[in-house]
Amino acid sequence: MIPAIRTQIHLQGLPENKSLLFNRLCPNIDDPRTKVRTAKDAALQGLLASYSSGTLPLYRQAVRRWKDFLAAQDDVLTFTMEVTSPLVVGKGDQNVHEFGITLQSPWATPVIPGSAVKGVLSTFAHTQGGGDWAKGALASFAGKFSLIMFGGQNEKNKLFAGALDFLDAWWLPGTGQESPFTGDIITAHNGTWYRAGTEHAPDNWPDGMDNPVPNPFAVVKQGENFLFAIRGTQSWRELAKDLLIQAATEHGFGAKTGVGYGRMGYIPSADEIIASMPAMSDPELAQLFQKEKGNPSLKDAFAAEAVRRPYAPELQGLFARHQPAVCMLNDLQNQQPLTWRNVRDLHDRYRTALGEIGISPEAQEVQTIFRICQPLAPQNWEQSWFNAFAPTACQLLAGKTADEIDGLLRNDAQTCPPLADFKEAIQQHPTLDDDDKVLLLEDFFPESQA
């Protein structure tokens, strides 16, 4: 027997390309001295193993270029979907391993071909959309909407190209070297019926009584993401996107969709997430923050929500990152009794976030923290971290009316800043009129009016 691979190739070692290894370089697959199952298991394990250190960086670079190319096209719509149940595309392709899988060359990464995307969508539209979405192959001619979106033959036997191009859906790798594949298994219970009509088995109906024969194969595991791209007229590509999201959720891609495989869920873009944040409840926002807190595209939006919303226990994580002074104040107010050690412990808890955000003594929560903690502080607090919380006279008076300033100076024992600092702050106050300034200065600094 002529071997599938020349012996010289074996001597060169196995390649990094999983696709070449899986589909072409199949050592011992036809060697009668080797069990076929052993050779197939070895090929499957090679596919499931992590990519080499040289493969994924090249693929990530290709993904970046692909995204840049798509972004430069005015007529291309892109979006991302996440695998929510095992996905296998191309399982029925001919293969010496008795199961196939579609891989993208030269990286051997999973891909959903554009033809498969179009096929899933056109079938879903045909089954769910009525006569206007009928496919030409299953009807005398294509429905009017199907004809526009997918192309086909009209009632006059004239052929049309579709208005949209469905591009390949690329796999989006994570940050590590993990493989996107995982093992799965299908167990046959009717081997006799499969061999029916041959010299080895009689012709009979399947009864499920044969010994089970497990057959392993590879699938794309849950949690992996794919980038979809549709080119064409804006209104039609937007409609195709909506239909495709529904088809991915209800029907799925690839093989075994009838038993729940191939389902995918839509991942909103950063702009869509940002637009939806104001309408979210606190628990919804907390859940989103837990999932997306590392997304740099959403950092400013999360910070804006922390400023806009009142503090809530559900949003502790969000506020601890973007409004740490508010969290520190809440913890201070809940500490009974309160000691300087408590203050230091709370500050240490939020030290990193306070350093990143910066302490703004003009903020009301910072001023309140200072007012609560100052009586507990040691005499040399000006030399410690607590000094950053001390507001100036101008910061204390900012935005206050003449009555509020009068109440502040009468009711508070002003040791920091000292009362003398308020004289200049009143004189320079940007919103007080001259009469109010004169009255305040006469009340609290009569010697300067003499």
Helix (H) or strand (E) holding 226: strand 225-232
- For residue range 86-137, list pLDDT tens digits in order: 999 988 776 666 677 889 988 889 999 999 999 999 999 988 888 888 876 5
Q: DSSP letters of 162-209?
A: -SEEE--EEEE--SS---SEEEEEEEES-HHHHTTTSTTS------S-
**pLDDT of 255 strictly over 80:** yes
Query: Residue for token digits 């919103």?
Result: 431
Average pLDDT over residues 314-323: 96
Question: What's the mean pLDDT when you consider all of the chain?
Answer: 85
Q: Residue 372, exposed/middle/buried by CB under 10 A (0-12, 13-18, 19+)? A: middle
pLDDT at residue number 185: 86
Distance of alpha carbon 445 from alpha carbon 119, whole angstroms: 84
Strand-strand pairing, 103-104 and 109-112? antiparallel
- For residue range 372-389, list pLDDT tens digits in order: 998 899 988 888 899 999
Find out whether 409 and 419 touch, Cβ atoms under 8 Å.
Answer: yes
pLDDT at residue number 187: 78
For 144, which DSSP code? Answer: H
For 87, which DSSP code? Answer: B
More confident residue, 177 or 137: 177
Distance of alpha carbon 215 from alpha carbon 219, whole angstroms: 13
What totals of helices (H) and strands (E) does the chain contain, helices first?
A: 21, 11
Find out whether 254 and 87 touch, Cβ atoms under 8 Å.
Answer: yes
Helix (H) or strand (E) holding 48: helix 36-48
Find out whether 191 and 213 touch, Cβ atoms under 8 Å.
Answer: yes
Inter-axis angle of helices 340-349 and 324-334, to 10 degrees?
A: 150
Cis peptide before 106 (omega within 30 of 0): yes
Q: Which of 2-16, 42-56, 72-86, 234-248 has the lowest mean pLDDT?
A: 2-16
Helix (H) or strand (E) holding 305: helix 299-308
Nearest to 397 by CA among 374, 428, 370: 428
The confidence band for 28, taking pLDDT boundaries of 50, 70 and 90, is: low
pLDDT at residue number 1: 44
Nearest to 306 by CA among 271, 278, 332: 278
- For residue range 392-415, list pLDDT tens digits in order: 889 888 888 999 888 888 875 556
3-state helix, strand, coil in the chain (%, to 5): 50, 15, 35
Secondary structure class of 297 (helix, strand, coil): helix
The confidence band for 151, taking pLDDT boundaries of 50, 70 and 90, is: confident
Find out whether 352 and 375 touch, Cβ atoms under 8 Å.
Answer: no
Find out whether 245 and 266 touch, Cβ atoms under 8 Å.
Answer: yes
